[in-house]
Structure 1
Amino acid sequence: MNELEIETVLSKVMEFLYELMKNQSGSQFFEKLFVFCNEEQRTRIILALTKFPLKLVNVCINSYGAKAMNTILEKLTEPQQISLLMSALSPAAIALANDPSGQHVIIYCVKHFSGEYNEHLLNDIADNCLKLATNRSGCCVLQSCVENHHGEARDRLISEIIVNAVHLAGDPFGNYVVQHLLGMRIPDVAADLYKRFLGYFASLSCNKYASNVVEKFLFHSGQMHAASITMELLTSPYATKLLVDPFGNFVIQSALKNSKGHAHDALRNLIQVNAASMQSNLYGRKILEHLEKRKQHSA
């Protein structure tokens, strides 16, 4: 299409943009049209879309609309265009982040736009950390915020995650947020998380979701912390239960892999003492089989 043809088409659809973007065929047409538009035409489209922010949010929580919105975001080059869109979207950041379609819009903004455009959005996310972390979509947004930004708002977000980390560890979605933070291997953050979990490692090891967090600690927090966690498991009232627990057995296997010295020897001793009863338990046998494989491998 030439410039005149694009202008003719654009003039006919400008008042129907919201409806167009939420329609399966219409959204595909809109995406192609936006790609062909020049910067002035794109700015006009953005001005029209941001005139009614609530309607724009409704576009973003529609699966077709969210895809069309991402096409817009990918083509933005002018600071004015970015500012207009972020001003319209930021007040609804939490609703969008917790929505299966809206999350993709927020994640794109977080990944590709600098802090000057995202500051208000990131502060709102930090204020609503717990609400987002325990939501299927919101937990993905949180992980993206932590990974892709720096500065005061991100630091505050990390602090909120740490404060709520023990609670989040046992949540079906929150546990991924804690695991992601541990996996980033930021020394001060890892140390603060370790302090927050002291005294809870054994009980959390019997939880379907939190046991994954304990395993992450064992793999990523270094030998000193791995030994300390292992000793906490061994000296807790849950020690023998962990050997035959559906989730605890995986923690014990991780402790065997990642602990050394006295802690490792003490764990092997606990297993030997309880080997007979473990043989008659499905999960206990998993640990014994794991030990046997390690023994064969090192032979």
Structure 2
Amino acid sequence: MAIADNSSFSMSTMSDALQHIPFSKGISGYIPPPGFAPRATVANSRLNSLFSVMTSGEGLAQFKDIISKSDRKELHMMVSLLTSDSDYFTKIVRNIYGSRRVQKLLGISDDVDAFFYAALLRRFFHIITDKYASYVAMRAMLVFDQKKKYVMYEHLLHHALDIACNQYGCIALNEIITDADDPFYRNLLLEVVARNALYLSNDPSGNFVVQHVLKLYDLRCTHNVAVSLRGHCVDLAFKKYGSYIVEKLLDTEMSMDVVVVELLECEGDRLMRLARNEFGSFVVVKALRVTNEMNRVDMFRGLVEKLMPFLHLLRRSHGSNIANILESTIN
């Protein structure tokens, strides 16, 4: 299906398109297969006009005002056409301007939301993992009624790991977890992340989700993440993003125990390499600092004793800050 060029788009054409797209009885937004031109001409013309309305870079600020002046029937018919074909709808919401305009249409009325709800569910994963379309799904989960939200949450839970491991999906998932107004589904999402923390922590995108849930300082979730990562903290600490996760675990006393015990149990040579590592050195510094600040003398002294034999090596590496802490205990 050809999409009209919107380079000559203006506010007047947007207003005309929204308020005067003819919706004659018997003509829908159905997109016929290629080669079926006779009946497709009128329908395609309307689809092209609407595509220009939704994706033009002009008149974004005035779009909401124009929508407010449209009556219920006009909005109902326009949204019906907008969501009549999954490919067409997805192409619009994947456009930066299309995404913004659809977001403004969400929540206007239950019958309008019903069209968007069905369209979103048909392509849920593809929409939630797109740079711009994902904001439509996030907005929907804020404004939809409770019944629709619950179904959206079920879809989210079903695809949670794949969404978390997607470049844009991880951002959407983090936003939804933060804004979730239903404690039941929020806890289910946190449980999925915590239960799969090791897998996600080793993923280029998934690690951001683990970092995010740890920043929420939900004690139960933090505990579950720590349990999932027990025995793997040192391995993670050698990696850039993995070290961020281990550092976050050191922020609460319960999860701090998991990390420090593992540091104390690892071989001295391996602990030395971690302390000299570009990323691991930050973990060791923080472990020394928090055990001292929390007055966990046994753990602090244990770390100092394991690291002291390597003091001379730490001075000439990323572990120089660790060396400073060790030297402060000598006097």
Shorter-chain TM-score range: 0.7 to 0.9
Q: Which amino acid aligns with 1:232?
A: E
The structure in which a higher percent of residues are helix is: 1
1:44 paired residue number: 77
1:3 paired residue number: none
TM-score (norm 1): 0.84
2:194 paired residue number: 162
The answer as to whether partners of 2:177 and 2:186 remain within 8 angstroms in 1 is yes
Q: Which amino acid aligns with 2:255?
A: H
Does the C-alpha gap of structure 1 residues 69 and 77 become closer, same or farther in structure 2, counting only changes over 3 Å?
Answer: closer
Q: Which amino acid aligns with 1:166?
A: L
The answer as to whether partners of 1:20 and 1:30 remain within 8 angstroms in 2 is no
Q: Superposition pairs for residues 83-94 of structure 1, below 5 Å?
A: 83-94=114-125
The answer as to whether partners of 1:178 and 1:213 remain within 8 angstroms in 2 is yes
Q: Percent identity?
A: 21
TM-superposition CA deviations, 1:11-34 (whole Å, max 9, x none)? 147722123212323766655422
1:54 paired residue number: 87
C-alpha deviation, 1:133, in angstroms: 0.9
Q: Superposition pairs for residues 274-285 of structure 1, below 5 Å?
A: 274-281=310-317, 283-285=318-320
2:259 paired residue number: 229
C-alpha deviation, 1:231, in angstroms: 2.2
Larger-Rg structure: 2
1:269 paired residue number: 305
Q: Which amino acid aligns with 1:286?
A: N
The one of 270, 287, 290 aligned to 2:322: 287
Q: Provide the alpha-carbon RMSD of the alignment.
A: 2.7
Which residues of structure 1 form unaligned runs of 5+? 1-5
TM-score (norm 2): 0.77
2:237 paired residue number: 205
Does the C-alpha gap of structure 1 residues 216 and 174 become closer, same or farther in structure 2, counting only changes over 3 Å?
Answer: same
Q: Which amino acid aligns with 1:119?
A: Y
| In structure 2, distance between residues paired with 1:83 and 1:290 | 61
Q: Superposition pairs for residues 1-299 of structure 1, below 5 Å?
A: 10-12=19-21, 15=46, 16-25=49-58, 30-73=63-106, 76-149=107-180, 150=182, 153-219=185-251, 222-237=252-267, 238-259=270-291, 260-281=296-317, 283-289=318-324
Which residues of structure 2 form unaligned runs of 5+? 1-14, 24-45
| In structure 1, distance between residues paired with 2:216 and 2:274 | 28
The answer as to whether partners of 2:17 and 2:50 remain within 8 angstroms in 1 is no
Aligned length: 285
